[in-house]
């Protein structure tokens, strides 16, 4: 991994990194915060939302104070492969910056857009090789990245001990962002879509019993709440399937990093508690 920048932050070390991904076939960028001390440390994977790179969370979420306090590594990858030879779309919600944490099967996306395999195989293994980890991890994310955190955790429960999300796309098969992206990346077969829909995965009992509870924060002034995010589909699925979903509706909060910064310490503490069991 090539170190692009290093900063001291809250007693720890933050690095912006780049590596050549065998999975996406492109260079991939990420940030890694390592808390003070010798370690080993558990890892929190953070998945960002539409249009973000690794920098939005890194510079705006204010997560490293609590990560330093609790002794967590935080890994924040970019949201898609990028570059001149990589397929793209003029819209902000498809293509570069909008990888949706799935492996695309359709032309022209299938060549590089393999974010699920990138995160759950390549990235996780690379972090365990390059940093002093305990090999235990949690996952969280925002919006499209909340969808990513939930679906990757539910599809690969052996990889993470806990999962949370901020304003996740709760059921991409039932909202415009998800319908558009899944059509482009996965084609018309809705049975394939269902495998990457958090509410449907919970209903199906995919990871039943693995996660004691799942923490979700959602601002009630979020402009995407009703049309795109639909957390009520998550809680309904949780009730139907016996999966505890702790949905906190936060009055007055929107979809911005100011919302996440306000509650990120709760999520870091939530994961730290479960990672240290």
Catalytic residue ranges: 143, 222, 255
**Separation of alpha carbons 231 and 220, rounded Å:** 11
Please state, in angstroms and as integers, the Cα–Cα distance from residue 256 to each residue in 23, 185, 261, following that order: 31, 26, 9
Q: Does 106 bind a copy of itself (CB under 8 A)?
A: no
Mark 2-21 with x for binding to a copy of itself (rule: CB under 8 A) and - for no binding.
Answer: -----xxxxx--x-------
Site for a copy of itself in 195-224 (CB under 8 A): 219, 221
- Nearest residue to 58 via CA among 13, 26, 22, 93: 13
Among 46, 57, 64, 182, binds a copy of itself (CB under 8 A): 64
**Binding of a copy of itself at residue 117 (CB under 8 A)?**
no
**Which residues are within 8 A (CB) of 45 and not within 5 positions of it... i.e. 6 or more apart?**
75, 76, 77, 119, 123, 124, 137, 138, 139, 140, 149, 160
Does residue 258 interact with a copy of itself by CB under 8 A?
yes
Our finding on whether 259 is near a copy of itself (CB under 8 A) is yes
Q: From residue 191, give the alpha-carbon distance in Å to each of 49, 57, 99.
A: 24, 33, 20
Applying CB under 8 A, which part among 74-82, 121-129, 239-247, 258-266 lies near a copy of itself?
Answer: 258-266
Tell the smallest beta-carbon distance from residue 154 to a copy of itself (Å). Answer: 30
| 37 interacts with a copy of itself by CB under 8 A | no
Query: Which span (114-122, 152-160, 185-193, 249-257) binds a copy of itself, by CB under 8 A?
Result: 249-257
**51 binding a copy of itself? (CB under 8 A):** no
Contact 197, 172 (CB under 8 A): yes
Q: Verify binding: residue 261, a copy of itself, rule CB under 8 A.
A: yes
In the structure, how many helices (H) and strands (E) does the chain have?
Answer: 10, 9
The residue within the footprint of a copy of itself, chosen from 38, 188, 252, 277 (CB under 8 A), is: 252
**Over the Cα atoms of the chain, what is R_g?**
17
- Interface residues with a copy of itself (CB under 8 A)? 7-11, 14, 59-60, 62, 64-65, 219, 221, 250-254, 256-259, 261-262, 265
């Amino acid at each position: 991994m090539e170190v692009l920048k290093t900063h001291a932050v809250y007693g720890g070390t933050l690095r912006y990194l780049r590596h050549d991904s065998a999975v996406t076939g492109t260079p991939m960028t990420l940030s890694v915060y390592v808390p003070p001390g010798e370690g080993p440390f558990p890892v929190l994977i953070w998945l960002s939302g539409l249009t973000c790179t690794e920098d939005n969370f890194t510079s705006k979420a204010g997560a490293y104070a609590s990560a330093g306090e609790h002794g967590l590594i935080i890994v924040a990858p970019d949201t898609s492969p990028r570059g001149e030879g990589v397929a793209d779309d003029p819209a902000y919600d498809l293509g570069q910056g909008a990888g949706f944490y799935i492996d695309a099967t359709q032309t022209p996306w299938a060549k590089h857009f393999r974010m699920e395999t990138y995160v759950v195989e390549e990235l996780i293994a690379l972090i365990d090789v390059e940093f002093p980890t305990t090999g235990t991890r949690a996952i969280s994310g925002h919006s499209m990245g909340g969808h990513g955190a939930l679906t990757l955790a539910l599809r690969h429960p052996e990889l993470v001990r806990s999962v949370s999300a901020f304003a996740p796309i709760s059921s991409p098969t039932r909202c415009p962002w998800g319908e558009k992206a899944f059509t482009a990346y996965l084609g018309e077969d809705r049975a394939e879509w269902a495998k990457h829909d958090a509410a449907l995965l919970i209903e199906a009992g995919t990871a039943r019993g693995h996660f004691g509870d799942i923490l979700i924060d959602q601002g009630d002034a979020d402009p995407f709440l009703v049309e795109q995010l639909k957390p009520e589909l998550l809680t309904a699925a949780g009730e139907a399937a016996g999966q505890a979903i702790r949905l906190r509706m936060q009055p007055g909060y929107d979809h911005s990093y100011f919302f996440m910064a306000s509650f990120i310490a709760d999520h870091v503490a939530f994961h730290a508690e479960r990672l240290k069991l």
